Amino acid sequence: MSARVVVLISGTGSNMAALLDAAADPDYGAEVVAVGADRASAAGIDLAKQAGVPTFVTPFRAYPDRDQWNSALVEEIARFEPDIVVSAGFMRILSPAVLSRFTVINLHPALLPSFPGAHAVRDALAHGVKVAGATIHFVDEGVDTGPIIDQAAVRVKPDDDERSLHERIKRVERTMLVDVVGRMARDGWTVDKRHVRLGSPEPGPEQAPGYVAEENR
């Protein structure tokens, strides 16, 4: 049985589209059962509808406070009984009401714990880093502080600006997201403190702690 995935977006949904393409393969192991957004204008909602995927919109401004919005979001997500919720360019902080109910993962355009927050690529360039990258992590109550599932490096070019670097990071993000969600769906995962391993832990005292990312392809 395929793992059920709900994707949350705020914009174009390019990462969501990559998941939809991957899920078309019956051997992938995951199915996108719904796409949700925090604004009706999110272009990815139309893309999901065209693909025949159920959608919902929970507008932030329609609720008097953040807690009520999060409660409404929980109700919407719960209708689809997901195994994994993917925050793919979803520009909202999720409350414990959401995080205690669902397994939520997020993509971030930096090598965490460096450069958390909404302006990661800009901040990395301003700091003068030579290597940027992308991180996929579990979401907790902090801002980009959850246990790291995988990371991939992106070399900064001398003439990079925020747009050009971010576009290259996005390409890496899409590949990594498809790979990680598929592996989580097919093989499961374990979290030991901050160490994440995809697949069942190997028995024996010589087991390496934590998750070791594969080499970039």
Residues annotated catalytic, as ranges: 108
Cα angle at 160 between 154 and 166, to 5 degrees?
55
| Euclidean distance between CA atoms 187 and 98, whole angstroms | 24
Whether 176 contacts 149, CB under 8 Å: no
| Residue 167, beta-bridge partner list | none
| Euclidean distance between CA atoms 107 and 102, whole angstroms | 16
184, 188, 191, 194 alpha-carbon torsion, rounded to 10°: -20
| Euclidean distance between CA atoms 115 and 33, whole angstroms | 32
Whether 194 contacts 148, CB under 8 Å: yes
